[in-house]
Amino acid sequence: MNLLPFIKAELLLTNTDKNHPFRHFFLSTFGKYPETRTVVNRGVTEDLEITFFTDSRTPKVEQIKENNKVSALFYHPGKLLQLRLYGQAHIITRRD
């Protein structure tokens, strides 16, 4: 069974449904030890690139610069669905 279309649809719903359970997810980065924190999903592209914002002074920014391999964990309590993703994070800065 190919779950990708279902997972993609659920992730894309977060672009319009601010109450979707996948709106908040756990992001793990690697410093001296693995570190996990909750972040807010700010958008998902058709290519399943996920955007989140963070303060540039947080430890995760330096950790991503040193090792951009990350994992993300999403959980949907209504569907009892846990989604684990592995990928690479990239720092994008906005200068006004």
Answer yes or no: is pLDDT of 77 > 50: yes
Q: What is the tens place of the pLDDT at every residue in 4-43?
A: 999 999 999 999 999 999 999 999 999 899 999 999 999 9
Identify the domain containing residue 65 by its residue range: 4-88
| Band of residue 95 on the pLDDT scale cut at 50, 70, 90 | low
Q: Residue 96: its pLDDT value, please?
A: 45
Q: Burial, 74: exposed, middle or buried (Cβ in 10 Å; 0-12, 13-18, 19+)?
A: buried
What total number of domains does the chain contain? Answer: 1
Length of the chain: 96
Q: What CATH number is associated with residue 31?
A: 2.30.110.10
In whole angstroms, give the CA distance from residue 28 to residue 74.
Answer: 12
Q: What is the tens place of the pLDDT at every residue in 51-70?
A: 999 998 999 999 999 999 99
Let me know if residue 71 belongs to a domain.
yes
Of all residues in the chain, the percent with pLDDT exceeding 90 is 89
Let me know if residue 95 belongs to a domain.
no
Let me know if residue 31 belongs to a domain.
yes
